[in-house]
Chains A and B, each alone.
Chain A
Amino acid sequence: MSVYHPTVARLTYRALLGRRRALMLCALPALLLLVALAVRVLVGADDAVTAELLGGFALATMVPLIGVIAGTGAIGPEIDDGSVVYLLAKPLKRPTIILTKLVVAIGVTVTFSAVPTLVAGYLLNGNSQQLAVAYAVGAAVASVAYSALFLLLGTISRHAVVIGLVYALIWETLFGSVMPGARALSVQQWALSVAERIGPESLISSEVSLPVGLLLLVAVTAAGTGWAGRKLRTLTLAGED
């Protein structure tokens, strides 16, 4: 079984980067870069402010939101309008379809979240104390887990976007920063455990240790992808008879 089918990827890219979705994908990174530029001009290079913006906005809000758009958008609309039937009625292994879509979703999420995070970091303080790299790497590993999670959501639910937004905004952003218990169970914290290793401990801290964070990231990605693949194998296109 191959893990990547170029045609499935092409169709997914075209769906994700269509006009409306591309605009949504560009809005948040553009906002981040604008704010970064404004802060640099008004405040000057400041490591604490940099960590605040990259951690509080980029990693906590932008990455999960981009993940929702890319992850659910990679498959949800096709299932909704029934066009997924053209992928499924082919001699392709269903997990190949899911893995390809995961690769595309990760690619899009990294491009629209980790890359802008890196650029914003350089704009803010010129990567002082490795802050830009640390948060960019954190955003990249979070992109992988979010993509898998939201791709699964897009496969199993018609309300994937709403559920995804609730998770991204309420769980990750609100509970993730307020409730200690919930904080350990958040992709954001696991990604921070990676960022923490690269950047200064005084500015970046995670609820979980690096091994635990990595383990949970891998586990969520693998389980989400596996479940989505299984779901696609038995996807029934309900009879509208």
Chain B
Amino acid sequence: MTTLQIDHTSRWFGNVVAVNDVTMDITPGITGLLGPNGAGKSTLIHMMAGFLAPSTGSVTLNGETIWRNEASYRHIGLVPEREGMYDYLSGGDFVLANAELHELPDPRAAAARALATVEMEHAADRRISTYSKGMRQRVKMASALVHDPSVLLLDEPFNGMDPRQRMHLMELLRRMGDEGRTVLFSSHILEEVEQLASHIEVIVAGRHAASGNFRKIRRLMTDRPHRYVVRSSDDRRLAAALIGDPSTAGIQVNQDDRELHIQAVDFPRFTELLPRVARDQGIRLHSVSPSDESLESVFSYLVAA
């Protein structure tokens, strides 16, 4: 059983704090590292992969420090986000080179096995430069799996993939998780993470915002107060009618812009209330729009929670 331990780890670049006092254990099964772009996911993965020293705190694999410890790569398979990968080699040569660099006893057999796992045998003789994005990603996976690692780290593996490639990779990762490997992947898309990960760690602005299974994360995200901007034929009368209901916590009448700012605390009830009240009062709704549905604001709510 392999556990990656991140213990009170921070990392800063000059004055910028990229990762701020994060503590988490990554255990066998699939963990999704979720957060908006720029949240520090890559920095965290780079530290787990031994390519960045923590400024404070520690990142260990089964108790052993990863930074400056080449031996830890016997257990870690890394699928980097960047595309650079010896394009002048064929996919088969590339995976074979990786097997040899791991000094495996039978690199050829290991490379063939890894290529079969990602179903890339048919294109093994073609140069990587001729591959599609999905094929590159699969060969990257093969290179990471060639030494049968117990930990698999993937940085934004679904970026730029079409739905079919995405499904294929998800299937593969599920298999890896079922085999008892510790699989960690990062993503900024909630749907992607909840489809795949049994456990989710949320990172926002370098801080560890939430942790749990997808139901818990989903609930945290939908239970938050929702803000709406509403334009109607009679803002003040609508406001008066809405504030009487416990699903609203606050309403501001903005006379200059002729709009209402509504804070709803009970999301399902409010969505049902608003059209009913408008109809009963004979008020026309010109527009109803959520004002904070951006991923960043959803996440920042989680930080405060």
A interface list, Cβ under 8 A from B: 5-8, 10-11, 14-15, 18, 78, 80-83, 85-94, 233-237, 239-241
Contacts and interface: CB of A to CB of B under 8 A. Distances in A.
Contact of A89 (B40, B68, B76, B84): B76
Interface stretch (B22-30, B44-52, B287-295): B44-52
Q: Which of A14, A80, A83 has the most CB of B within 10 A?
A: A83
Contacts of B268: none
Contact of A14 (B18, B80, B89): B89
Contacts of B85: 83, 86
Contacts of A241: 18, 37-43
B53 A234 contact: yes
A86 B87 CA distance: 13
B73 interface: yes
B72 to A, nearest CB: 8
Contact of A7 (B18, B39, B84, B100): B100
Contacts of B98: 86, 90
Contacts of A88: 51
B97 A7 contact: yes
Interface residues of B, number: 37
B73 A91 contact: yes
A82 B84 contact: yes
B52 A239 contact: yes
A90 B101 contact: yes
B143 A86 contact: yes
B70 A236 contact: no
A236 B97 contact: no
A91 B61 CA distance: 15
Given A86-B86, A236-B51, A241-B40, A91 B102 contact: yes
Given A235-B51, A240-B81, A90 B70 contact: yes
Nearest to B70: A91
Contacts of A11: 86, 89, 97
Contact of A233 (B42, B52, B68, B88): B68
A122 B110 CA distance: 50
State the 5 A-B residue pairs at the shortest beta-carbon distance, nearest first.
Answer: A81-B84, A82-B82, A83-B84, A241-B42, A82-B84
Q: Which of B38, B84, B102, B143 has the most CB of A within 10 A?
A: B84
B70 A85 contact: no
B304 interface: no
A8 B101 contact: yes
A191 B78 CA distance: 44
Q: Which of B42, B51, B74, B103 has the most CB of A within 10 A?
A: B51
Given A11-B86, A234-B68, A240 B42 contact: yes
Contacts of A90: 70, 73, 98, 101-102
A215 B127 CA distance: 45
Nearest to A233: B68
Interface string B2-44: 0000000000000000100000000000000000011111110
B240 interface: no
Given A87-B101, A89-B76, A234-B53, A240 B70 contact: no
Interface in B67-120: 68, 70-71, 73-74, 76, 78, 80-86, 88-89, 97-98, 100-103
Given A82-B80, A85-B78, A86-B85, A239 B101 contact: no
A154 to B, nearest CB: 15
Contacts of B102: 90-91
Contacts of B82: 81-82, 85, 237, 240
B96 to A, nearest CB: 9
Contacts of A94: 70
A23 B292 CA distance: 57
A239 B42 contact: yes
B88 A18 contact: yes
A24 to B, nearest CB: 16
A74 B80 CA distance: 22
Contacts of B74: 91
A234 B70 CA distance: 11
B70 A92 contact: yes
A89 B73 contact: yes
Interface string B122-157: 000000000000000000000100000000000000
A240 B143 CA distance: 22
Given A15-B88, A82-B80, A85-B80, 20 more contacts: A5-B101, A8-B101, A11-B89, A14-B86, A14-B88, A14-B89, A78-B84, A82-B82, A83-B85, A85-B84, A89-B76, A90-B98, A91-B71, A234-B53, A234-B68, A236-B53, A237-B46, A237-B80, A239-B18, A241-B18
Nearest to A240: B42
